[in-house]
Homo-oligomer: A and B are copies of this chain.
Amino acid sequence: MTYAKTAAFTHEQQQLARVAKALAHPARVAIIQFLASKQTCISGDIAAELPLSRTTVSQHLQELKALDLIRGEIDGLTVCYCLNTELLQRVHQQFTAFFIEATTSPACGPADACGC
């Protein structure tokens, strides 16, 4: 997505694509769900929950952190990760707007094979 041609698209399109990309790996979906399932920010060994090495999970965490979807606070030896629910809410709205735009279009109906 950071390919050369990216610049030509609207900021909105790039924004949506960037977040979509963050969710484009089951590990990152799983990480977010895991963080959501805990009342407290969980330390980094989310790795124990996932079929991936700690290093790889750490990398996925950094990726989510780079977009600010999650935050990490160092607390002694461990790192406390947590969801940025505010951002996630805004992202949710963006996705919803996109999907509504897409699903309310008067394009071909569900079954008919596109009678244009």
Chain A, range 2-48, C-beta contacts under 8 Å to B: 2-10, 13-14, 16-17, 20-30, 32-33, 35-41, 45, 47-48
- CB distance B51 to A6 under 8 Å? yes
Question: Is A77 at the interface (CB under 8 A from chain B)?
Answer: no
A interface residue count range (under 10 / 10 to 19 / 20 to 34 / 35 or more): 35 or more
- Taking a contact as CB atoms under 8 Å apart, the answer to whether B5 and A52 are in contact is yes
**B1, A26: Cβ atoms under 8 Å?**
yes
Decide: A1 and B24 in contact? CB cutoff 8 A: yes
Interface residues of A in 65-88 (CB under 8 A from B): 71-73, 75, 80, 82-86, 88
Contact residues in B for A23 (Cβ distance below 8 Å)? 16-17, 20
20 contacts between A and B (CB under 8 A): A1-B24, A3-B53, A9-B29, A9-B51, A13-B30, A20-B21, A21-B24, A24-B24, A29-B98, A40-B116, A41-B108, A73-B114, A82-B107, A83-B102, A83-B103, A83-B105, A88-B99, A89-B99, A92-B99, A95-B96
Q: 9 shortest A-B CB distances, which residue pairs?
A: A8-B51, A9-B26, A92-B99, A20-B23, A21-B24, A36-B105, A82-B108, A5-B51, A13-B26
